[in-house]
Structure formats: structure tokens, C-alpha cells
Amino acid sequence: MMDFLESRIVGQNRALQYLKNAAERANSPLRNKNKPIGSFLFLGPSGVGKTETARALARYLFGDSKRHTYIDCTKFTEPHTVSELIGSPPGYIGFIEPGEDQESSYPLLSHWNVYKHHHLHLKELHEKEMDALYEEVMQLDDLREEMKKLVEKINAVSKKAEVSRRAILSLKHEADKLEHKKNPSPTDKQELNDLKAQLAIAEKALKQETEIVEILRAELNHRDKEYSERKNKNYEAFREACAKGWEYDADNPPKDLIAVVIFDEIEKAAVQLHDVLMEIVDTGTFRCGNGEITHFNNAFVIMTSNVGQQAISELLNENSQIGFRKNQKALDAKELDKRIYDISTAEIKNYFRPEFINRFDKVVIYRPLSEKSLQEILNIRISDLLDDLKREGFGVNLKFDFEVKKYLVAKAMKRPEEGARLLEKRLTDYIRDRLVALANTKQIKAGDTIVIKLAEEGSDEEFDFYIEEN
């Protein structure tokens, strides 16, 4: 788990370690099952990976970074908007009886909406398993056809052997008559020699046909044994797969599903939403407006906040420009982390009540991204770009000149308050969009190796694209 998260999130090992520790507790008999697997409040500069960490966790658990319950708290700034999360009580417009519309997107914190991503992931795995079993059944049919052909061959060769056997008996009978004949003529002797020659040929043919039948029968026995074993194994697997029954039952929801729930920019939410979160984090349960209880004891509950963003942005901008001033020295990474920590811990008290903050397992303050971290993130995003193109059926190879990567990272470093977001935007504007334009005009095609270099001075484009000749 740690290796996967580190391959997606750069420079935030402390947060990743807390997630790993929470995941390990999830399977321990010592964990508190009346609370979420882990509850976290991620603070720090914008664009450093707070929300991306939760997405990476979802990708590790369910194979897709989109498989999480995402609550955009900027949409719940007014008290009345919180009803969209909890649902309408009986007698009000929008009320849904528990189980009436079990796969509804409303309310957002229903058991289905929280755990549906794991359920759908398991359902997909189940369907793949059933497809594999179907493929196995088709292969068994092929094996059965091969066995039928072997039986036909055995029957055909056995018929030949029977013909040879009868011919041998007939030849022996004729030869025996000539051998016991008194005063055989030269013609009789010649005929006897011919019969013996024919007998030798027939016996040789019978021997070969008998050997072929034995080989074919041995092969048939082997195939029959293989068919029986695979059929029994396939039957057991099919029975187990069918027994899983991945149909969601609102009245009896699965208890072994897990979830990743993100409350993004929590500082912008109404106080009523904070109360909802305190109930979730403190008791591991939440009662929706229709009376349905959602259990969060198998969920990772992650909140992100940009409190102190303005002060942190000013600090990062000032620190990035100090190098150009005389008699001033930029803060090193450790000092910068401490200043951001101080800002975040001071600002958090202006937005959240102490009883709200103290309910989290961990309050994690993210570090600003270094130049080295941005270089690693750029490589990750380039790899993601190539994967996207491949999924769309337009797989190409990209070769970036070192100066191109250096240029993109340098641009991002000039605005450190934006973190990796500016880097991703530049990659989209300069690389992805340019590739789309070239593909639409048939200048490049799937399978091409494209070399990307800095454009020469005076060019309208930032970069030049070349197709590498084979």
C-alpha cells in the first residue's frame, strides 16, 4: 500500500504513513469498531496533494481514483443546503422511504452512496470472474470436441486393425493348407511364399494399428481426466460465484464493504455540516432524514481545508523571491514547514471549534512542494497522459527533451502558491492540447514516437514536436 501511495503522492510521506497505519488497524481485533477506520483533517497550501491523497487511496482500494464519495463543501455554505446530504424527513418534499429507491443519489450520505463504489468494484470483479468461467466453459466444449475426434480416430484405426486381423487369419489358413499339402508343385511353393510375405505385411500393419490405438486411448484417458477435473473445478467456482450474489440489498446491506469519503474545503461549510461530521467521526454512524442509518465504521473519512491559504501564499511568494534580494536568505525546507505549521494551527482555531478539531485521529499539515517533488509529479502526470491516450486507442510514445521538463518545472516554481496545479495546467495547455490538434489534422497517428523540444526564439509555440523516424 505504501509503495503504491508513494508512487502517486510526492513529498507527503507523513500523511501516507497515517493512512497506512489506519488501514492496518482496520483488520485488527483491537480497533474501535464504533469509529471510522480513520478520520483525518488535511491542512496546508493549495495544490500539494491533499485531495489527491484521498483519490490515490481510492485507486489503491478500488482500482479507480474516482471511486470515492466526494462532498464539495462549497455547495453547503447555507444551513438549508445540508438537507441534500442528510435527506428530507417524513412529510417533506423529497422524502424517500428506506429501501424505496436504494440506488438513489439522494441523500448523499445514504449507505448506498457511501459504499456503492466498493460494491460496484466487487460487482465488476464478479462479472470478470463470471466471464472467465464462461470462457472456461467454452474451452471445456473445445476439449470435449477434441475428445470426440479422438474417439472417432480410435474407432477408425480399430476398424482397420480388425480388417488386418481377419486378413491375417485368412492368410494363415491358406498358408497352412499349402504347407500340409502332399507333393506341392512349384506353383504351390511360390504361392506359399507370397502368402507368407503378405502375412508379414499384415502382421506389421496390425502391430502399428494396435500401437496407434493404445496411444490414442492413453491420450483420450488423459483428456478425459483433465475434462473431469476442470469441469468439477469450474462447477465449484461457478457455484461460489453465483452464491456471492452482487445485488445490493438496502434492507440487509453488506457489512464488509469499505469506503473513502472526502469532504473538500470543509472550512467553507455551514456549521450544521460540522455537527454532522462530529457525529460521524465520534460514533461511526449517521441517521439520515428518512431514518436510515449509515455506518461509517468501515470508512476512511478525509477532510481537506485551505485555512490560512492567503498567509501561506504570501509566505511562499516572499520566500521564492528572497534569493534575488541582498542580505536576505531564503528559509530552508525545515523552517518553511514550521512557519506553515504555525500559520495553519493558528488559523484553524478561527474556523473550527476545539471539540470539532479534537475528534479527528490526525490533523495533518502538508508540506509545500520542492523543485524535486515537482519533477517527480511531472513524470507521474506524463505517465497518466500516456495511459489516457492508450485507453482512447491513440497510444503514442513521447520523448521529452530535458530542457522541456526543466522549463515546465521552472514555470511552476515561479508561483509556488499554486503547487502542482499550475504544472498540470501547463502540461494540458502545451502538450495534451497540442497532441489533440496534431492528431485531428492527421499529422501524427497511433504508434508514432514524438520528440518534444523547446521551440526556437520567435516561434509562436512554446515547444516543437517531431516524429522520430524508425
pLDDT tens-digit map of 95-104: 566 555 555 6
To which H or E segment does residue 120 belong? helix 111-179
- In CATH, the number for domain 371-467 is 1.10.8.60
DSSP single-letter state for residue 417: G
d(CA 266, CA 138): 53
* Section 377-381 average pLDDT: 92
Q: Which residues pair with 40 in a beta bridge?
A: 302, 362
* 12 has pLDDT over 80: yes
**How does pLDDT run across 282-331, given as a tens digit for each residue?**
999 988 887 888 899 999 999 999 888 888 878 877 766 544 444 455 66
* Section 64-91 average pLDDT: 85
Percentage of residues in the chain having pLDDT higher than 90 = 33
What type of residue is 450?
A: I
Q: Is the pTM of this model over 0.85?
A: no
- What is residue 277's predicted lDDT score, i.e. its pLDDT? 92
Q: 396 falls in which pLDDT band (50, 70, 90)? A: confident
**How does pLDDT run across 418-451, given as a tens digit for each residue?**
888 889 998 988 898 988 888 888 888 888 999 9
Residue 430 to residues 109, 120, 288, 385, 412: CA-CA distances in angstroms?
39, 36, 46, 13, 13
Q: Which of 60, 86, 13 is nearest to 272 (CA)?
A: 86
**How does pLDDT run across 262-287, given as a tens digit for each residue?**
999 999 999 999 999 999 999 999 88
CB 415 within 8 A of CB 364: no
- What is residue 325's predicted lDDT score, i.e. its pLDDT? 42
CB 35 within 8 A of CB 78: no
* Section 52-61 average pLDDT: 94
Percentage of residues in the chain having pLDDT higher than 70 = 89
Question: Higher confidence at residue 458 or residue 365?
Answer: 365
**Buried (b) or exposed (e) across 329-357, using 16+ Cβ within 10 A?**
eeeeeeebbebbeebbeebbeebbeeebe
Question: Higher confidence at residue 355 or residue 240?
Answer: 355
- What is residue 55's predicted lDDT score, i.e. its pLDDT? 94
d(CA 301, CA 337): 25
Residue 149 to residues 144, 160, 203: CA-CA distances in angstroms?
9, 17, 27
Q: Write down the mean pLDDT value for the chain.
A: 85
- What is residue 122's predicted lDDT score, i.e. its pLDDT? 82
* Section 211-237 average pLDDT: 86
**Buried (b) or exposed (e) across 174-197, using 16+ Cβ within 10 A?**
bbeeeeeeeeeeeeeeeebeebee
* Section 99-118 average pLDDT: 75
Domain boundaries, the chain: 2-102+254-365, 124-244, 371-467
Cα atoms in the Cβ-side hemisphere of radius 13 Å centred on 14: 11
Residue 247 to residues 62, 127, 371, 380: CA-CA distances in angstroms?
18, 12, 48, 36
d(CA 378, CA 382): 6
Which of 59-68, 88-97, 455-464 reaches the highest mean pLDDT? 59-68
The pair phi, psi for residue 299, each rounded to 5°, is -120, 145
Which cell numbers in the block locate residue 127?
Answer: 462479472
For the domain made up of 2-102+254-365, give the CATH fold: Rossmann fold (3.40.50)
Q: Which of 364, 365, 362 is nearest to 37 (CA)?
A: 362
* 76 has pLDDT over 70: yes
Q: 136 falls in which pLDDT band (50, 70, 90)? A: confident
- What is residue 413's predicted lDDT score, i.e. its pLDDT? 86
* Section 115-132 average pLDDT: 82
d(CA 446, CA 469): 14
d(CA 122, CA 167): 67
CB 114 within 8 A of CB 300: no
Asked whether the domain spanning 371-467 has the same topology as the one spanning 2-102+254-365, the reply is no
